Chains A and B, each alone.
Chain A
Amino acid sequence: MNNDGVIKSIGDIDPEFIKEARPDSRRRLWARVVPAAALALILLIGIFTLPKILWPREGEYTAGLQPTAEPVGAEYGGQDSTPELGSVPGSTYGGDVDYCLRRVTLEEMIAASDLVVHAECTAVGEARKYTFRVMDSYPVSLPESIVLMIPSYHGTSLEGLEYSPKEGDRSILFFVNTPDGEGGTRYTYNGVIRVLDDGTLKNDSISDLADYTYDGLVKALPELAEKLIKTPEN
């Protein structure tokens, strides 16, 4: 048999094999289109996102930080107990939707809280569930939120946070410090846990605090808290 004969023998193979191998132009099209579309999408995301990350403008939240669905603290601006908060220049607590779109100062954060809690991580369980121990607490101004300072590690999950919201609690501000690689710690993530109507907790990051180390924050806290505490006498 010559080569043509073999070619013809192959031509007579089982029709099932022929059907199975039938060229699929759509499959070839997808093979071309999908990588090209993925590349285009990555480029588009890069073009629109990178400038915002590299050169964030005033009023824009920075990379990795999400705006809260509902500006936390918005309700404080109209309350009689702290009417001045809404009028502080640059304040984030005046009910302005800008709240979650700019950096806030520690004072601003504390001023919007009724309790500052300094807690430490005492155990790490499965699935990154952390247990916290309250070290100190400082009552501050408003009756509807709590500040937690949580010395822990980057990536801390708050799922294990043992907190039972009391009636009237609306939000918890928290700080998570991380090792800075040089033996110290720094805050890289601060957020708000919102107490939802059904009593569950929702974690929204809000901003990053500028230039506070963990130690610095702990030292500054009592003074700041004292300054901001509003007692009935005040």
Chain B
Amino acid sequence: MNDPDVIKLYFERSEQAVSETKQKYGNYMRSIAKRILRDERDVEEVVSDAVLAAWNSIPPESPRDLAAYLGRLCRNAAVDRARANSRKKRGGGEYEAVLDEIAELVPSAEAGPEEAAERLAVTGAINGFLASLPKKKRTMFVQRYWYLMSEGEIAREHLMTRSAVSMQLSRLRAALKEHLKKEDVDL
């Protein structure tokens, strides 16, 4: 079943939408969650949460790219779960490593009530930054900080050494930091 048909099922409030989503994108969402979470049970729960979030948000949402939409829901659910786990006991998977790298960008601060609006502004600035990058660099950035792939995985995918990937990501973080400053994004 293709994506428009699946979305149509959501709009018709047919429960088949859930089973079709799990069948078509279950492995994809699982692979995203696995990069953030170590516990298999957490992964399964996060995937279920993401599908439920899709059920609750479509409609009114009508994603133009269902895979990316589901991936984002899954990723955000996994990040929430990892953060909750981290509060209990530090030591999540790739998420912790990425969090350390992101710490270069922003000073640590507690989440405030304006966080949603800030996130929107930051996302807009990041989109602008990504759009300005060459495809390869953009892909590497997104693979690291969206898909939370390890540096080794990225290196294999781009036929680079791990240290070259590490260096490239470091430069990209520095460039993003500069970009956010220029955009007057309040972090």
Interface residues of A (CB under 8 A from B): 1-24, 27-28, 31-32
Question: Per a CB cutoff under 8 Å, which of A5, A10, A17, A28 touches B118?
Answer: A5
* Complex Cα gap A1–B75 (Å): 19
* Complex Cα gap A1–B119 (Å): 8
CB distance from A20 to the nearest CB of B (A): 6
Among B10-18, B37-45, B66-74, the stretch that binds chain A is B66-74
A16 near B115 (CB under 8 angstroms)? no
* Complex Cα gap A32–B68 (Å): 27
A15 near B63 (CB under 8 angstroms)? yes
B159 near A3 (CB under 8 angstroms)? no
CB distance from B102 to the nearest CB of A (A): 5
CB distance from B45 to the nearest CB of A (A): 18
The answer to the question of B53 belonging to the interface, with a C-beta cut-off of 8 Å to chain A, is no
* Complex Cα gap A155–B106 (Å): 66
CB distance from A12 to the nearest CB of B (A): 4
Chain B interface size, under 10 / 10 to 19 / 20 to 34 / 35 or more: 35 or more
* Complex Cα gap A13–B143 (Å): 12
CB distance from B75 to the nearest CB of A (A): 5
A2 near B118 (CB under 8 angstroms)? no
Question: Per a CB cutoff under 8 Å, which of A15, A16, A28 touches B72?
Answer: A15
The answer to the question of B58 belonging to the interface, with a C-beta cut-off of 8 Å to chain A, is no
B159 near A31 (CB under 8 angstroms)? yes
B106 near A1 (CB under 8 angstroms)? yes
The answer to the question of B156 belonging to the interface, with a C-beta cut-off of 8 Å to chain A, is yes
Residue of B nearest to A12 (CB): B123
Report chain A residues within 8 Å CB of B95: 7
A12 near B119 (CB under 8 angstroms)? yes
CB distance from B130 to the nearest CB of A (A): 5
CB distance from B129 to the nearest CB of A (A): 10
Interface residues of B in 103-124 (CB under 8 A from A): 103, 105-106, 108-111, 115, 118-120, 122-123
Report chain A residues within 8 Å CB of B156: 28, 31-32
* Complex Cα gap A99–B111 (Å): 88
A6 near B102 (CB under 8 angstroms)? yes
- Please name 22 pairs of A and B residues whose Cβ atoms are closer than 8 Å in the assembled complex, sorted by A: A1-B187, A2-B106, A2-B108, A2-B109, A3-B99, A3-B103, A4-B99, A5-B111, A7-B145, A8-B119, A10-B123, A11-B79, A11-B146, A15-B63, A15-B65, A16-B65, A20-B139, A21-B140, A21-B142, A23-B31, A23-B143, A23-B147
The verdict on A21 contacting B108 (CB below 8 Å), with A6-B102, A6-B122 known, is no
The verdict on A2 contacting B110 (CB below 8 Å), with A9-B126, A17-B130 known, is yes
Report chain B residues within 8 Å CB of A31: 156-157, 159
* Complex Cα gap A62–B173 (Å): 59
CB distance from B28 to the nearest CB of A (A): 8
